[in-house]
Amino acid sequence: MELIQNMGEPKFRAAQIWEWLWKKHVGSIEEMSNLSKALRQKLSAEFFIPKVRIHHSQFSSDGTIKNRLELHDGQFVESVLIPTEKRVTVCVSSQVGCSLACKFCATGFLKRIRNIDFDEIVDEVSLAQAQALEHYGRPLTNIVYMGMGEPLLNYRNVLASVERITAADGLGMSPRRITVSTAGVSKMIYQLGEDEVKFKLALSLHAGSDEKRSQLMPINDTSDIASLVAALNHFYKKTGNEITLEYILFKGINDTLDDADKLVKFFRQVPADLVNIIEYNTIEGADFQKPEELDVAAFMKYLETKRVNARLRRSRGKDIDAACGQLANVDGAQMKA
């Protein structure tokens, strides 16, 4: 408002500009049609809108859409739009690349280049909203921070983006429809509790012992299972928000009944509502395989007998490398416009 007044403009112009930016999500100052041409020229001389744009989209046979998004500095990330009978969910990225190097994740093979700014994350969501309405005839119902990067290592921007997405003068989405996923940064999970966030939390666990988890996820060397148990309990004590555990099954690594028992023991130490058992999706450069269906069934049966609320989640968008762990920022030339 002070800037606008210093330009000799009335106060209400600030509200108009705010609406163009955060309600209508314009890509340029020139599109702010209710501002005078002179004011638009003044603003354009000093500012630009770092708008995210869809570079290419790829369409799966199951209705899933993967977008390669170009950021204002020429960097690329990917987002995924996933329709089901009851929901339309967008999976957004929080970093260009990733520093955690999880052995089974395509993004983990990429170098972390930078954090994604909060307004860029909001753009990811607004683009997905428009795409959902265009292709499915219905709006977004859910947002998951499960794309490229570790959200809790971009803490400030992730929380700022949630604030804008849930604001009445923003996208107005309920925080209960937002889930932030983490590979397990214990101190930042603890901080989420201190900040009393309103959104849900998902932990990528993938093994119930430190030995196996460290083999899969190097982050476990600094955020081990004991620290995760303490952090999750603190998060729940401070927020009461839903916690989900994510567990990808890898053949011969974490798919035995002994592994299932370790998962049960972890589950009983934390206030988790659900365990998502996820099928492994192959990626180039990783030597992992999916378990046999009989082993998957036995694993699920064991969890059932121990009264663990578990669900076997089949991946969407596998035919376009849009499934869990497959986002690798491929060359747009390989994607259909």
Report which of residues 105 and 162 the model is more confident about: 162
CATH number of 50-334: 3.20.20.70
With contact defined as beta carbons under 8 Å apart, do 196 and 239 qualify?
yes
Weakest-pLDDT range from 83-92, 174-183, 231-240, 326-335: 326-335
Q: What is the mean pLDDT of residues 90-108?
A: 91
pLDDT bracket for residue 254 (50, 70, 90): very high
Report which of residues 90 and 280 the model is more confident about: 90
Tokens of residue 12, six digits: 């209400």
**Res 333: pLDDT:** 36
> Annotated catalytic, 91?
no
User: Using only C-alpha atoms, what is the Rg of the chain?
Assistant: 21
Tokens of residue 22, six digits: 């955060």
Q: How distant, in Å, are the alpha carbons of 32, 155, 196, 288 from that of 152?
A: 34, 5, 15, 26
pLDDT tens profile 36-48? 888 888 888 888 7
Position 335 pLDDT exceeds 50 = no
**Res 130: pLDDT:** 94
Position 23 pLDDT exceeds 50 = yes
**Res 170: pLDDT:** 86
**Res 38: pLDDT:** 82
- Nearest to 271, CA basis, from 310, 232, 228, 306: 232
- Nearest to 60, CA basis, from 315, 329, 328, 325: 315
Q: How far apart are CA 296 and CA 298, in angstroms?
A: 5
**Res 12: pLDDT:** 81
% the chain with pLDDT above 90: 68
Domain-wise residue ranges, the chain: 1-49, 50-334
pLDDT bracket for residue 55 (50, 70, 90): very high
**Res 169: pLDDT:** 86
**Res 316: pLDDT:** 64
Position 17 pLDDT exceeds 50 = yes
Position 334 pLDDT exceeds 50 = no
Q: Which position has the token pair 């987002």?
A: 79
pLDDT bracket for residue 327 (50, 70, 90): low
Q: Which one of the listed residues 78, 120, 124, 150 is annotated catalytic?
A: 78
With contact defined as beta carbons under 8 Å apart, do 329 and 76 qualify?
yes
Position 336 pLDDT exceeds 50 = no
pLDDT tens profile 171-215? 899 999 999 999 999 999 999 999 999 999 999 999 999 999 999
**Res 318: pLDDT:** 58
Weakest-pLDDT range from 16-20, 28-32, 80-84: 16-20
Exposure string for 158-167, b = 16+ CB within 10 A, e = fewer: bbbbbebbbe
Q: Which one of the listed residues 91, 98, 102, 324 is annotated catalytic?
A: 324
Q: How far apart are CA 197 and CA 156, in angstroms?
A: 12
Q: What is the mean pLDDT of residues 302-309?
A: 97
CATH assignment of 1-49, given 3.30.930.10, 1.10.150.530, 1.10.1240.10, 1.10.8.870?
A: 1.10.150.530
Neighbour count for residue 38 (Cβ, 10 Å)? 10
Q: Which position has the token pair 């709006």?
A: 139
Q: What is the mean pLDDT of residues 91-107?
A: 91
The residue type at 116: I
**Res 46: pLDDT:** 83
With contact defined as beta carbons under 8 Å apart, do 219 and 183 qualify?
yes
> Annotated catalytic, 105?
no
**Res 329: pLDDT:** 56
pLDDT bracket for residue 319 (50, 70, 90): low
